[in-house]
A and B are shown apart, each in its own frame.
Chain A
Amino acid sequence: MTRRRVLAAAALALALPLVAVAQEPYPSRPITLVAPFPPGGVADLTARPVAAAMEKVLKNPVAVVNKTGAAGAVGMQFVAASKPDGYTLLLALSSISIIPEADKIFGRPPAFTVDQFAPIALISADPTILVVRAESPWKTAREFLDDAGKRSGQISYSSSGIYGTLHMAMELLSHAAGVKLRHIPTPGAGPALTALLGGHVDALASGPAVILPQIKAGKLRALAGWGDKRVAALPEVPTFKELGYPDAEFYIWAGLFAPKGTPEPVLAKLRDATRAAVGDADFRSAMDKMETPIAFKQGEDFQRFFDADARRLAEGVRKVGRVEDKK
């Protein structure tokens, strides 16, 4: 074979799939589900069972890709900028509403905005829980808040980073209760828990799954939750709503998004697929093992939840403002 013929053959081989792609019913090729956090994190651990269950429904591979960096902004920006054809989806956490607000505060061009996404479904929504060490003096949330009022800025808490989810939960509480707490940011939810257990801070707002074993082992005490209702695994722990702080409402949630502009038929198909996926037995057992209750919401319901949540968080971020400016 001459060199030219080889080239021609190669060109032909390369061109073939191009022809095949044109005009086919959705989905006809693998779908990418972007998890903007590293493997092993909440987003990843939710994305994988979702992807596995959706694969069964859509009859096409759904691959989870971890696009990590800048507290999730890298992955979210990637999806926001990708082609709205339903082949690139995003599994986002609450931080999707926080990042653009934080960008705004610093006068940065935002990496993305929330209205670049079309919500598909909410998968889970865990309220954060206020925990302290078992040997600490506070037995109830009331005692904790009273003491915090008396010793303004003396009681410290750790968080998963500034403007991170665990920080925002505490900020919403301290504004609702009118107290001042001292914030010690750490690089993530794990180090934040370590700081509390090691006695370097006094309190922490955390998702229930992480702290349940520590509570069972008698190391930590749960004081109250940020949820609308009490957490099933901790029925004796009241909510801040019950205690008279309705503004202290916060969830660590995980939801599925597509880029804005995805055609409606594709979105409808994806909504059906997620509904079926959530009912899948394997999916349910996977979420059960992680002690993460499924909180499925779609369409109007999800949009309402998402908007309310984004509003609360935007306000929270604005109240925090630039940290250095306040001092």
Chain B
Amino acid sequence: MLETLGNLGLGFSVALSPPILFYAFVGCLVGTLVGVLPGVGPLAGISLLLPATFGLDATRAIVMLAGIYYGAMYGGSTTSILMRIPGEAASVMTCIDGYAMARKGRGGAALAIAAVGSFVAGTVSVVGLMVLAPPLAAFALRFGPPEYVALLLLGLLVLAYMSSGSMVKSLAMAAFGLLLGMVGIDQMSGYFRFAYGVVELGDGLGVVPVAVGLFGVAEILATAGQPAPPSVIKPKLRELLPSRQEWRESAAPIGRGTVLGFLIGILPGSAHIISSFVSYAVEKRLSKHPEQFGQGAVAGVAGPESANNSATSGAMVPMLALGVPSGPIPAVMLAALMVHGVSPGPLLIQQQPALFWGFIASMYVGNVMLLILNLPLVGLFVNILRVPYPYLYPAILVFSILGVYAVNGSVVDVWIMVIMGVLGWLLRKLDFETAPIVLGVVLAPMIELSLRQSLAMSDGHYGIFVQRPISAVLLAVGLTLVLLNLYSFARRRSDWRTRIALAEKGEESP
């Protein structure tokens, strides 16, 4: 422990040196900017800006990239809350309650809660990263395909909590989303599926165009033509800050989101997206007022935003401790290290203590910086809503198209976004929810690949899922949850769905 503190001292001496501080600041600023733009999330941000860091030395470059990474995670919530456009895939859940809050004039509060939640999550998870990195990394590696199948099945249960409307409709949407996730080359056999000769569909439908289309574009399509343009929300300064009650309601979700996000983030794969879905479901399950979710529940913003930020630190664990790219973002960071002549690997911490501890320390510094940067920006961002809609929506459209295009440089992605926009608009008319589709698109490729990998590993024996301890435990948890739900569903008494249904029918609540 003492050694860790000594090392951290070394780290801070690196991180607080003016040049490093400067690059951390630039990274945070650019990251926030990139994150605010619809569609461009941390992965796209880092990939696009990686070449710009080639001229710097290793520590500066990695500190700046980490700043971009963090900044993009912070900034992702902004457009989600204000305009219902997911700034990045992990902010999809924030769209739902965050935007509902903004419509009620609590946009400033939602942004502030998101920023503070991100700060807490970021700081706490860096402590986790520092203290627990080596043992956790070893654990993360044991998470193979069978464990992933179990986790993802658990993830699918999340669906049950995501919707506030009809269960059957949510299930239909989830099945549809999972089907969309099947598009592209089958990684196990090399077959092209549902690509209709479009080579660009080979890698499947990206989460970004689907999410931006279903949420952002659909929102514009539905709103722009309203006979009375949406009233311009004029925020008062006093209302920018969350009320005491809102703080109270978001404290526990922030804590839970942090722990959950960190644990999920360590696992290989695009875990930070899943972490926000899971956190939303957990909050809804634990909430005393689940019926408020979807109508602007502050817990629905605090939980997922904390979770996705803490997952980003979690993702650094296997990368720094073992030199293993555990997901697409750490993979780009590893490449950045290699470009600068640092060979990432299990020996990184011993061989490059200044780099490692400087990086850790600059993560603390970066989080503080982002909080200072973001809280005043809340006031600025909220003022975007003052722009009259006829000017606002073409601008949003331009940024959406640009963001979606920039990620892969592909017009096909723009088409996907447009088509998903129409679909999202139609589905809203028909009272379907679109979040399950996004979840399906995220989960489908992973769940299919892991399932088939597991069976290839075991030569077709399903026993592999119960023989391995981690997956067996996860499956048991899932089964328990299902049984618990069936039980309460059977009893009906405490089921809020029925309450809503009854209330909607104008009958007296029991």
Are A and B direct contacts in the complex by CB distance below 8 Å? yes
Interface residues of A (CB under 8 A from B): 38-41, 44-45, 48, 64-71, 73-74, 77, 102, 105-106, 108-109, 111, 153, 156, 161-163, 182-188, 190-191, 193-195, 197-201, 209, 212-214, 216-217, 219, 286, 288-291, 322-324
B348 to chain A, nearest CB (A): 8
Knowing A40-B331, A41-B335, say if A199 contacts B189 (CB, 8 Å): no
Does B268 lie at the interface of the complex (its beta carbon under 8 Å from any beta carbon of A)?
A: yes
Which of chain B's residues have a CB closer than 8 A to the CB of A289?
338-341
Identify which of B328, B331, B409 contacts A67 (C-beta below 8 A): B409
B200 touches A70 (CB 8 A): yes
Chain A binding surface, main DSSP class:
mixed
B193 to chain A, nearest CB (A): 11
Does B128 lie at the interface of the complex (its beta carbon under 8 Å from any beta carbon of A)?
A: no
Identify which of B50, B145, B190, B336 contacts A106 (C-beta below 8 A): B190
A266 to chain B, nearest CB (A): 24
**Residues of chain B in range 320-353 having any CB-CB distance to chain A below 8 Å:** 322-326, 328, 331-332, 334-336, 338-341, 343-348
Which of chain A's residues have a CB closer than 8 A to the CB of B459?
153, 182
**Residues of chain B in range 362-392 having any CB-CB distance to chain A below 8 Å:** none
B445 to chain A, nearest CB (A): 8
Nearest chain B residue, comparing its CB with the CB of A160: B187
Q: Which of B141, B326, B334, B336 has the most CB of A within 10 A?
A: B141
A286 to chain B, nearest CB (A): 7
Which of chain B's residues have a CB closer than 8 A to the CB of A48?
51, 54
B410 to chain A, nearest CB (A): 7
Which of chain B's residues have a CB closer than 8 A to the CB of A193?
324-325
A70 touches B203 (CB 8 A): yes
A38 touches B47 (CB 8 A): yes
A68 touches B203 (CB 8 A): yes
A143 to B202, CA, bound (A): 39
Identify which of A195, A216, A290 contacts B144 (C-beta below 8 A): A195
Knowing A71-B202, A217-B346, A290-B338, say if A185 contacts B188 (CB, 8 Å): yes
A40 touches B457 (CB 8 A): no
Knowing A74-B202, A109-B197, say if A39 contacts B346 (CB, 8 Å): no
Does B405 lie at the interface of the complex (its beta carbon under 8 Å from any beta carbon of A)?
A: no
Knowing A74-B199, A198-B144, say if A40 contacts B335 (CB, 8 Å): yes
Does B456 lie at the interface of the complex (its beta carbon under 8 Å from any beta carbon of A)?
A: yes
4 residue pairs, one from A and one from B, having the closest CB atoms = A70-B202, A213-B345, A40-B335, A289-B341
B51 touches A286 (CB 8 A): no
Nearest chain A residue, comparing its CB with the CB of B206: A69
B343 to chain A, nearest CB (A): 4
A215 to B335, CA, bound (A): 18
A to B CB contacts below 8 Å, 7 in the list: A40-B332, A40-B334, A105-B190, A162-B188, A184-B457, A190-B331, A198-B142
Interface residues of B (CB under 8 A from A): 47-48, 50-51, 54, 141-145, 184-185, 187-192, 197, 199-203, 268, 318, 322-326, 328, 331-332, 334-336, 338-341, 343-348, 408-410, 449, 453, 456-457, 459
A-B contact sample (6 more), CB < 8 A, given A73-B199, A213-B344: A40-B336, A70-B199, A184-B457, A197-B322, A219-B346, A289-B338
Nearest chain B residue, comparing its CB with the CB of A212: B343
Knowing A39-B47, A194-B324, A213-B346, say if A290 contacts B339 (CB, 8 Å): yes
B268 touches A194 (CB 8 A): yes
B190 touches A163 (CB 8 A): yes
Nearest chain A residue, comparing its CB with the CB of B142: A198
A70 touches B185 (CB 8 A): yes
Identify which of B54, B318, B345, B456 contacts A183 (C-beta below 8 A): B456
A69 touches B410 (CB 8 A): yes
A38 to B327, CA, bound (A): 14
Knowing A39-B47, A39-B50, A217-B346, say if A45 contacts B190 (CB, 8 Å): no
Which of chain B's residues have a CB closer than 8 A to the CB of A77?
199
Which of chain B's residues have a CB closer than 8 A to the CB of A286?
339
A277 to B51, CA, bound (A): 19
Which of chain B's residues have a CB closer than 8 A to the CB of A65?
409
A187 to B185, CA, bound (A): 11
A182 touches B341 (CB 8 A): no
Knowing A70-B202, A109-B197, say if A216 contacts B268 (CB, 8 Å): no
Identify which of B48, B334, B336, B453 contacts A186 (C-beta below 8 A): B453
Nearest chain B residue, comparing its CB with the CB of A76: B199
A51 to chain B, nearest CB (A): 10
A187 touches B449 (CB 8 A): yes
Nearest chain B residue, comparing its CB with the CB of A195: B144
Which of chain A's residues have a CB closer than 8 A to the CB of B453?
184-186
Nearest chain B residue, comparing its CB with the CB of A320: B190
A324 to B452, CA, bound (A): 13
Identify which of B199, B339, B341, B449 contacts A45 (C-beta below 8 A): B339
A190 touches B190 (CB 8 A): no
Knowing A66-B409, A69-B408, A200-B457, say if A39 contacts B51 (CB, 8 Å): yes
Knowing A45-B335, A184-B453, say if A69 contacts B200 (CB, 8 Å): yes
Which of chain A's residues have a CB closer than 8 A to the CB of B144?
195, 198-200
A118 to B429, CA, bound (A): 53
Q: Which of A66, A163, A197, A200 has the most CB of B within 10 A?
A: A200
Which of chain A's residues have a CB closer than 8 A to the CB of B344?
213
B200 touches A74 (CB 8 A): yes
Which of chain B's residues have a CB closer than 8 A to the CB of A219?
346
Which of chain B's residues have a CB closer than 8 A to the CB of A217?
345-347
Q: Which of A69, A111, A213 has the most CB of B within 10 A?
A: A69
Nearest chain B residue, comparing its CB with the CB of A34: B409
Which of chain A's residues have a CB closer than 8 A to the CB of B345?
212-214, 216-217
A77 to B496, CA, bound (A): 54
Q: Which of B189, B190, B343, B459 has the most CB of A within 10 A?
A: B190
